[in-house]
Amino acid sequence: MLGASMSYFFLMPQALQRVFGFTPLMASSISFLPLTVIQFIVSLYIPRLTARFSNISVLISGVVDTLGFVLENVIGINSGYWWGVAFPIIFLGMGQGLIIGPATVAGVAGTSDEIAGAASGVVNTFQQIGGAVGLAFISAMVNGLNGADVIIDQAQFWMVVLAIIMTVAAINILRGKHE
């Protein structure tokens, strides 16, 4: 999932600058406030949600992140910032809030106290590697395209593909662990 997210955070600020004329500050920070606020709020509820529904159930509910990518792709950046970007990133924020903590917990589950810190580091390292590989893949898919709106629309299509593949893979892995 981080492959799609990292690609989004790399490509969307560039598209916001080129399509809407946003300043770099506006494109890379202020325009992402809806995502940040929602992710923060959702992450505050993670301990209660995991206690009530289980870590795996909360992690799987992070599929709402994929819905954000689908909405971004369907609506498109040319629909304007509020409808084409701000609305879908609410779902990205919810999904990321639901995924990040439980993914780390799932990654270190079953480790001893002596290696839990190292296991957490490995989980975070692989998240970053996945993000870099996803960004490389999506960048390769849009290489040679012209026009910021065309590039971001095509990139968002590949983000959806990547998010769906990762969601299916994660659910199958978690299902296997649960059984």
Provide the H-helix boundaries in 143-178: 148-178
Domains contained in the chain, number: 1
CATH of the domain at 150: 1.20.1250.20
Residue-range definition of the domain harbouring residue 72: 2-178
Per-residue pLDDT of the chain (179 residues; tens, 9 = 90+): 677 888 888 889 999 999 999 999 999 989 999 999 999 999 999 999 999 998 888 888 888 878 888 888 888 888 999 998 999 999 999 988 998 888 888 888 888 989 988 998 998 898 889 889 989 999 999 998 888 888 888 888 998 888 888 888 877 776 766 55
As given in the structure block, the two tokens for residue 152 are: 């971001």
C-beta of residue 116 within 8 angstroms of C-beta of residue 123: no
pTM listed for this prediction: 0.82
Cα(33)–Cα(12) distance, integer angstroms: 14
